[in-house]
Amino acid sequence: DKMRFPNRKYLQLSTLVVGFLYIGVLVCHTVSVSDIVYEGLSRSEVADDLENTITVKRWQERPPRSLSGLNGDYDVGSNDIADYHPFIDKIVQTTVRPTTKLSDIFISVKTTGPFHKTRLELILKTWYALAKEQVRFFTDTNDEEFQRRTGGRLYNTNCSSSHNRKALCCKMSVEFDSFLESDKRWMCHFDDDNYVNIPNLVKLLQKYNPQDDWYLGKPSIKTPLEIMNRDNIMQKIAFWFATGGAGFCISRALALKMMPLASGGKFISVGEKIRLPDDVTMGYIIEHLLNKQLTVIEEFHSHLEPMKFLKPDTFQDQISFSYSNYGSEMNVVNIEGFDVKDDPTRFLSLHCYLFPSFSFCPS
């Protein structure tokens, strides 16, 4: 028993020495790393950065806020990255995917001269007011009045005013090239008979990374379209396409992959080759040639759908609406509001239902 006591004391002393040495190594290592990362910063700046780094970790875990307000960008991030120290800015930018804002979206509307006074007038009075800086109209004639009222965002494509395949592909080609020339992250196409719920469009795109390949829209057919392969008439090609009358969006990453096939007027050539209109040509390029799949968004709606079946308690959730008339029968949403004579498309009533603070809406 007497021999064991000195051994135990020796072991305790050795353990303490090793522990102190280990702590010393850790301290030296931490200091050396800090010296590398924070070279040129004062001690107070380093302390601030370390504190902010912890804040950023919490920020990344928070769910986004809900959209609010009609003016400005609909940025729903829980904090504005720009509020952080520049050093933290760099960390966030490399670890968090881009947050889509309204200003990141290129919204193109296809129209034609005869519809300026009717369809464009209605758009300008309603949803255009929510995204004036982002909406561009692509038409086939000069119109000084609407050029002025849109702040120069009415573009004469010099395409034919007819509704044939080549004219439609011509306008889509100009839309696509205009998007490529912009700095926007998303291109969203709509027709002049669409109503677009702008906050919901932004909210949708925030779910997807524009640096990945995304083709968002809604088909108007139940099965993939089958066409004959022009290069091999014994073979058939099947693909989905998003109907242009409901609207669709493509990410910049996908648009850049489309450039060799569709930019600089090549889109028109593809449409002529397959002998199909603009929205089908878009689907052919994306789904068949690039092998990228359409992501179906049920909240897009075209005039090919019976609008009356959309329930009013779901209007807040939808992204696009449309209307049409077949003879004396109107295909419109079923909503109370303005008299049918004053609002045959029901877009005024719909707009006031969604955004009642507009001046022309009943109090």
Residue 179 lies in a domain: yes
Q: Any idea what the CATH number is for the domain that residue 187 is in?
A: 3.90.550.50
Residue 283 lies in a domain: yes
Residue 63 lies in a domain: no
Quickly count: other Cβ atoms within 10 Å of residue 265's Cβ: 13
Quickly count: other Cβ atoms within 10 Å of residue 17's Cβ: 10
Quickly count: other Cβ atoms within 10 Å of residue 236's Cβ: 10
Distance of CA 92 to the CA centre of its chain: 21
Distance CA 281, CA 157 (A): 18
Q: In the block, which residue shows the tokens 């002049």?
A: 192
What pLDDT was estimated at residue 65?
Answer: 29
Q: Between helices 252-262 and 266-274, what is the axis angle to 10°?
A: 70
What pLDDT was estimated at residue 38?
Answer: 32
Residue 324 lies in a domain: no
Three-state secondary-structure class, residue 343: coil
Nearest to 136 by CA among 111, 113, 164: 111
Residue 221 lies in a domain: yes
Is residue 320 within a helix (H) or strand (E), and if so which, with residue range? strand 320-322
| Cα-based distances in Å from 24 to 12, 15, 27, 28 | 19, 14, 5, 6
**Count of alpha carbons within 13 Å of 145, Cβ hemisphere only?**
6
What pLDDT was estimated at residue 98?
Answer: 72
Domain of residue 237: give its range: 102-296
Residue 56 lies in a domain: no
**Terminus-to-terminus CA distance in the chain, angstroms?**
97
Asked whether 345 and 120 are in contact (CB, 8 A), the reply is no
Going from the first residue of the chain to its last (363 residues), give the mean pLDDT of each consecutive group of 10, the final group possibly shorter. Answer: 43 55 49 35 37 31 29 33 32 57 98 97 98 98 97 97 93 98 98 98 98 98 94 91 98 99 98 97 98 98 97 97 91 97 97 97 89
Residue 316 lies in a domain: no
Residue 264 lies in a domain: yes
What pLDDT was estimated at residue 328?
Answer: 82
**Catalytic pick among 75, 143, 279, 343:** 279
How many domains does the structure of the chain reveal?
A: 1
Is the pTM higher than 0.85? The answer reads no
Using CB atoms within 10 Å of the CB of residue 156, give its burial: 0 to 12 exposed, 13 to 18 middle, 19+ buried: middle
Asked whether 303 and 325 are in contact (CB, 8 A), the reply is no
Indicate if 279 belongs to the active site. yes
What pLDDT was estimated at residue 97?
Answer: 66
Tabulate helix, strand, coil % of the chain (nearest 5). 45, 15, 40
Asked whether 335 and 316 are in contact (CB, 8 A), the reply is no
Distance CA 326, CA 118 (A): 17
